[in-house]
């Protein structure tokens, strides 16, 4: 092949090449600081609304989600306990639990080195932070000792695990829990019979790309996996209406972010940061009642 033809071929392949996919570490390192616009405590999840709360005040609803998880973990605050956060972000939930459980030792794992650093700094600056360990580990293969936790939870992080049935994630959680230990998963799930309109399918695919999610959990399949692994007392609570008040905050948080951080911000807007702006806007379009996504708290007890 002549050099000029090879150059033309090379040039055209560069011109048509799709941009590389953003990976989880890159996404959370670049877009991570932007979560400050959502939560001053870096609660990187939706809120849980209870009657009597002010739906316009976001942070208490985000904190209420931590309290809801804690209640379902069924930890006795007067006894020593070991608790694991599978996908801990900057450790906001861990710090909330450490405040409420004076005898607990807590461990958080995340794959993102930036989050490990930030979480450790924040823990060091809080009174109960010395009972929290943060490790850079993959929650599907942590290499932590078997049966060493009384309870484990995953808030909006299990969606990143492989496969629609989340087998590897559940297998590892099962291995790490002692018999009688509790598992709580809070996340968006797909109803298994998810007939999406082609337009909605495109929005859904874009949402997955933005949040670097390979495959959302399918509710029936996750439940079946829990049963298969011998979990009992399995409870699935759909809480679409509980999280809705915090979902309604998305438009103005986005607008405020665009004004402050995009228009006048000093940090360069990268693809990962734009994705983090777009994903929450797309989410309601594929969630109940418009689409097949449901937000659930799934809890179970290890046999
Ligand atoms: C949306 S954030 C939620 C963080 C935290 N649970 C919260 O509610 O504030 C998702 C988290 O899952 C973590 N994650 C995703 N895949 C993971 C994996 N394979 N192993 C460990 N952590 C993972 C990310 O690093 C990130 O910290």
pLDDT tens track for 48-89: 999 999 999 999 999 999 999 999 999 999 999 999 999 999
Mutation pick for ligand 1 pocket among 28, 65, 110, 117 (CB with most ligand atoms within 8 Å)? 110
Residue range 168-218, pLDDT digits in tens: 999 999 999 999 999 999 999 998 666 788 999 999 999 999 999 999 999
Q: Which of 133, 127, 162 is nearest to 149 (CA)?
A: 133
Would you state the pLDDT for residue 15?
Answer: 45
Q: How confident is the model at residue 18 (pLDDT cuts 50, 70, 90)?
A: low
Q: What does the mean pLDDT of the chain come to?
A: 91
Tell the residue nearest (CA) to atom 9 of ligand 1. 44
Would you state the pLDDT for residue 99?
Answer: 97
CA distance 8 to 26: 32
Mean pLDDT of 134-138: 98
CB atoms within 10 A of CB 25: 16
* Ligand 1 centroid from CA 216, angstroms: 14
Domain extent for 54: 21-301
Task: Give the per-residue SS3 of 235-288.
Answer: EEEECHHHHHHHHCCHHHHHHHHHHHHHHCCCCCCCHHHHHHHHHHHHHHHHEC
Give the global pTM.
0.92
Closest atom, ligand 1, to C-alpha of 85: 6
* Ligand 1 centroid from CA 267, angstroms: 23
Would you state the pLDDT for residue 67?
Answer: 98
Do the domain assignments include residue 45?
Answer: yes
Contact 196, 292 (CB under 8 A): yes
Q: Is the CB of 58 under 6 A from ligand 1?
A: no
Tell the residue nearest (CA) to atom 20 of ligand 1. 138
Q: Is the predicted pLDDT of residue 13 greater than 80, yes or no?
A: no
Q: How confident is the model at residue 19 (pLDDT cuts 50, 70, 90)?
A: low
Would you state the pLDDT for residue 256?
Answer: 87
Q: Is the predicted pLDDT of residue 101 greater than 60, yes or no?
A: yes
* Ligand 1 centroid from CA 40, angstroms: 18
User: How much is the CA Rg of the chain, to the nearest whole Å?
Assistant: 20
* Ligand 1 centroid from CA 92, angstroms: 12
Q: Is the predicted pLDDT of residue 11 greater than 60, yes or no?
A: no
Residue range 282-299, pLDDT digits in tens: 999 998 888 889 999 999
Label residues 72-98 b or e (16+ Cβ within 10 Å = b): bbebeeeeebbbbbbbbbbbbbbbbbb
Do the domain assignments include residue 113?
Answer: yes
CATH number at residue 238: 3.40.50.150
Mutation pick for ligand 1 pocket among 39, 62, 68, 87 (CB with most ligand atoms within 8 Å)? 87
Q: Is the predicted pLDDT of residue 303 greater than 80, yes or no?
A: yes
Which of the 8 DSSP states describes residue 39? -
Do the domain assignments include residue 186?
Answer: yes
Residue range 226-256, pLDDT digits in tens: 999 999 999 999 999 999 999 999 988 988 8
Mean pLDDT of 264-272: 81
* Ligand 1 centroid from CA 284, angstroms: 21
Mean pLDDT of 8-36: 72
Distance of CA 43 to the CA centre of its chain: 10
Do the domain assignments include residue 215?
Answer: yes
CB atoms within 10 A of CB 136: 14
Contact 140, 87 (CB under 8 A): no
Do the domain assignments include residue 6?
Answer: no
Closest atom, ligand 1, to C-alpha of 169: 19
Do the domain assignments include residue 4?
Answer: no
CA distance 192 to 26: 30
Do the domain assignments include residue 5?
Answer: no
CA distance 149 to 207: 34
Q: How far is CA 172 from CA 103, 148, 149, 298, in A?
A: 25, 12, 12, 16
Do the domain assignments include residue 7?
Answer: no
Number of domains in the chain: 1
Mean pLDDT of 221-225: 97
Would you state the pLDDT for residue 259?
Answer: 83
Mean pLDDT of 137-166: 97
Would you state the pLDDT for residue 145?
Answer: 97
């Amino acid at each position: 092949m002549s050099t000029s033809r090879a150059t033309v071929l090379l040039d055209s392949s560069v011109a048509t090449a799709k941009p590389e996919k953003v990976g989880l570490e890159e996404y959370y390192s670049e877009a991570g600081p932007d979560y400050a616009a959502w939560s001053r405590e870096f609660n990187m999840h939706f809120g849980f609304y209870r009657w009597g709360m002010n739906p316009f005040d976001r942070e208490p609803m985000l904190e209420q989600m931590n309290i809801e998880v804690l209640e379902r973990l069924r930890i006795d605050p007067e006894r020593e306990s070991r608790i694991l956060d599978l996908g801990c972000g900057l450790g906001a939930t861990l710090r909330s639990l450490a405040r409420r459980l004076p005898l607990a030792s807590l461990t958080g794992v995340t794959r993102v080195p930036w989050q490990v650093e930030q979480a450790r700094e924040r823990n060091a600056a809080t009174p109960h932070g010395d009972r929290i360990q943060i490790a850079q580990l993959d929650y599907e293969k942590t290499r932590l000792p078997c049966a060493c936790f009384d309870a484990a939870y995953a808030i909006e992080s299990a969606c990143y695990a492989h496969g629609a049935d989340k087998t590897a994630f559940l297998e590892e959680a099962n291995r790490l829990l002692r018999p009688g230990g509790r598992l709580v998963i809070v996340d968006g799930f797909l109803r298994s019979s998810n007939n999406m309109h082609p337009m909605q399918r495109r929005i859904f695919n874009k949402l997955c790309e933005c949040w670097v999610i390979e495959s959302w959990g399918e509710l029936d399949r996750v439940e079946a996996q829990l049963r298969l692994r011998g979990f009992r007392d399995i409870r699935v609570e759909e809480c679409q209406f509980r999280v809705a008040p915090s979902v309604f905050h998305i438009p103005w948080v986005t607008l405020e972010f665009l004004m402050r951080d995009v228009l006048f911000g000093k940090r360069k807007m990268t693809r990962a940061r734009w994705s983090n702006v777009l994903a929450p806007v797309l989410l309601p379009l594929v969630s109940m009642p418009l689409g097949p996504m449901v937000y659930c708290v799934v809890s179970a007890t290890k046999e």
